[in-house]
């Protein structure tokens, strides 16, 4: 039987969260609107018309929620800073109420013996900046650098562990190409502009933290997925290369000093030429202390000539009769192992932390209990895969569960439940699920 000690005494276990998904208090205490506040007011953008206005009310209940993190046995609490809570107008004026709030969260973590990990950007751009182009505008880098510097100076004496950007491919593709996430922009023009500015920002952010925070442990996170072909056909294999280039390589290779990848794909080759990306290759590079990997599922890809640009199509887990979560994501611990190996193969990757991993299921509250045995099985199998990779010599330093409690799951609203703790969004009651108790038992061994 797998034991927590199998991972080593210095292995770090924690919980990951995001400001826009849990905080609430979205238009009070001096906070400005974020793109998710605005996006959620547009008809049809969020399931059931849900909004992050209250979310989990973490702003008012952070002490109780941090006590839960402690009670479940975790050591790390990863949270993000709402840019619009610090800079209501995106830049310039600093909201001292926002500065004070995160000091309170950090101080409570330290009082409880928790290690705070700060994510600087977790998708909630100030609406004021979005009106000027947001991540598609070169001016975003100046504003982001001001935000990073302000946070580093405010909290750097207390917090040494930092993550610059959460899943750059996630928010640039969903928000600036497909339009299904905030700010709802579409098209390659918006996407590639956002990609370039984000790649610059993640390296700039690292350099600012290095200069401002003594003894800082600096990382950034990448969403990732093993990409598999549907068949042995050459067209499917080429489609896999294109998707892998976008999903897995697009942001880590600039960090490594390699520039943007293209895999011989004319779309990316034209992007590199039209945006003169070579000019920024050095600026996009930074020597991170660790990288965060965030994996939930593999993708099985089939060539499809009718899909614009990428000419590829995902063959869903359900269609392939594979086990899947409530999100339709395939449950495959072997792919988790392989994607860790893929990223570890980059020579300049020093250490890896799993900064998100988890699953949503159709949780039901029955007689005051949530029996989520599927989630427990998911964690067990994925931890076994993680241990396999670690035992093969990959320097994996920690694992963060997504997430503490059910929350505002972006375009899914409050329907998708990922938490170890059940949230009643009407009463804000928290109920620890069986998976939460499983983690407590596992970490106590």
| CATH assignment of the domain containing 163 | 3.20.20.80
Average pLDDT in the 199-206 region?
99
The Cα-based distances of 79 to 57, 76, 108, 166, 177 in angstroms read 14, 10, 13, 11, 27
Q: Is 438 annotated as a binding residue?
A: no
Cβ–Cβ under 8 Å, residues 191 and 199: no
Where in 179-315 does DSSP place strands (E)?
217-223, 227-229, 290-294, 299-303, 312-314
Q: Is 296 annotated as a binding residue?
A: yes
- Position of tokens 């106590």? 444
Output the pLDDT for position 387.
Answer: 99
Q: Rounded CA gap, 91 and 104, in Å?
A: 23
Nearest 5 degrees, angle CA 106-CA 59-CA 435? 80
Average pLDDT in the 182-191 region?
98
Q: Residue 178 pLDDT more than 90?
A: yes
Q: Is 439 annotated as a binding residue?
A: no
Cβ–Cβ under 8 Å, residues 418 and 327: no
Give burial (CB, 10 Å; 0-12/13-18/19+) of 1.
exposed
Is residue 127 annotated as a catalytic residue, yes or no?
no
Cα 56–chain centre separation = 18
In this structure, what is the dihedral angle of CA atoms 366, 325, 420, 31, given to the nearest 10 degrees? Answer: -110
Dmax (CA) for the chain in angstroms is 61
pLDDT tens digits along 222-251: 999 999 999 999 999 999 999 999 999 999
Taking Cα atoms as reference points, which of 366, 410, 349 lies closest to residue 175? 410
Q: Residue 198 pLDDT more than 90?
A: yes
pTM of the model: 0.98
Q: Rounded CA gap, 250 and 262, in Å?
A: 9
Catalytic residue from among 167, 185, 253, 330: 167
Q: Is 36 annotated as a binding residue?
A: no
Is residue 185 annotated as a catalytic residue, yes or no?
no
In percent, the amount of the chain with pLDDT more than 70 equals 100
Output the pLDDT for position 177.
Answer: 98
User: What residues make up the domain containing 193?
Assistant: 4-444
Average pLDDT in the 45-69 region?
99
Domain count for the chain: 1
Output the pLDDT for position 445.
Answer: 81
CA pseudo-torsion sign 17, 19, 20, 22: positive
In percent, the amount of the chain with pLDDT more than 90 equals 100
Q: Rounded CA gap, 18 and 79, in Å?
A: 5
The chain-wide mean pLDDT, for the chain, equals 99
Alpha-helical (H) ranges within 346-417 are 373-391
Q: Residue 61 pLDDT more than 90?
A: yes
**Cis peptide preceding 183, ω within 30 of 0:** yes
pLDDT band at 359 (very low <50, low <70, confident <90, very high): very high
Cβ–Cβ under 8 Å, residues 312 and 299: no
Contacts of 311 (CB under 8 A, 6+ apart): 239, 242, 303, 304, 305
Q: Is 103 annotated as a binding residue?
A: no
Give burial (CB, 10 Å; 0-12/13-18/19+) of 198.
buried
């Amino acid at each position: 039987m797998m034991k927590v000690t199998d991972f080593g005494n210095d292995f770090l276990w924690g919980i990951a969260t995001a400001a826009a998904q849990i905080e609430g208090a979205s238009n009070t205490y001096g906070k400005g609107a974020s793109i998710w506040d605005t996006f959620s007011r547009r008809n049809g953008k969020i399931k059931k018309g849900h909004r992050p206005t209250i979310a989990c009310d973490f702003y008012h209940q952070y002490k109780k929620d941090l006590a839960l993190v402690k009670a479940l046995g975790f050591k790390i609490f990863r949270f993000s800073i709402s840019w619009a809570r610090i800079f209501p107008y995106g830049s310039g004026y600093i909201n001292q109420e926002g500065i004070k709030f995160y000091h309170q969260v950090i101080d409570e973590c330290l009082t409880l013996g928790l290690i705070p990990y700060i994510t600087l950007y977790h998708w909630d751009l100030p609406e004021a900046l979005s009106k000027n182009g947001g991540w598609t505008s070169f001016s975003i880098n100046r504003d982001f650098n001001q935000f990073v510097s302000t946070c580093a100076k405010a909290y750097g004496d207390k917090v040494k562990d930092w993550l610059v950007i959460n899943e750059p491919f996630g928010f640039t593709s969903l928000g600036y190409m497909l339009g299904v996430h905030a700010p709802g922009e579409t098209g390659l023009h918006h996407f590639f502009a956002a990609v370039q500015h984000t790649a610059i920002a993640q390296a700039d952010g690292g350099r600012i933290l290095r200069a401002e925070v003594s003894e800082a442990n600096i990382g950034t996170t990448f969403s990732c997925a093993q990409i598999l072909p549907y068949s042995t056909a050459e067209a499917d294999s080429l489609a896999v290369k294109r998707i892998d280039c976008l999903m897995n390589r697009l942001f880590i290779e600039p960090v490594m000093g390699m520039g943007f990848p293209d895999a011989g794909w004319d779309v990316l080759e034209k992007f590199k030429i039209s945006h003169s990306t070579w000019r920024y290759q050095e600026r996009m590079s930074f020597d991170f202390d660790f990288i965060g990997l965030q994996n939930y599922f593999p993708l099985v890809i089939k060539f499809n000539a009718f899909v614009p640009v990428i000419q590829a199509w995902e063959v869903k887990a359900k269609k392939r009769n594979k086990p899947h979560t409530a999100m339709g994501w395939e449950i495959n611990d072997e792919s988790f192992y392989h994607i860790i190996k893929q990223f570890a193969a980059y020579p300049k990757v020093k250490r890896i932390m799993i900064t998100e991993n988890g699953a949503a299921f159709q949780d039901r509250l029955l007689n005051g209990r949530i029996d989520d045995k599927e989630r427990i099985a998911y964690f067990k199998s994925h931890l076994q895969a993680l241990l396999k990779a670690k035992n093969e010599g990959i320097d994996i330093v920690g694992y963060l569960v997504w997430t503490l409690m059910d929350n505002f799951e972006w375009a899914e609203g409050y329907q998708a439940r990922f938490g170890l703790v059940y949230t009643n969004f009407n009463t804000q009651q928290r109920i620890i699920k069986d998976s939460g108790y499983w983690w407590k038992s596992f970490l106590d061994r």
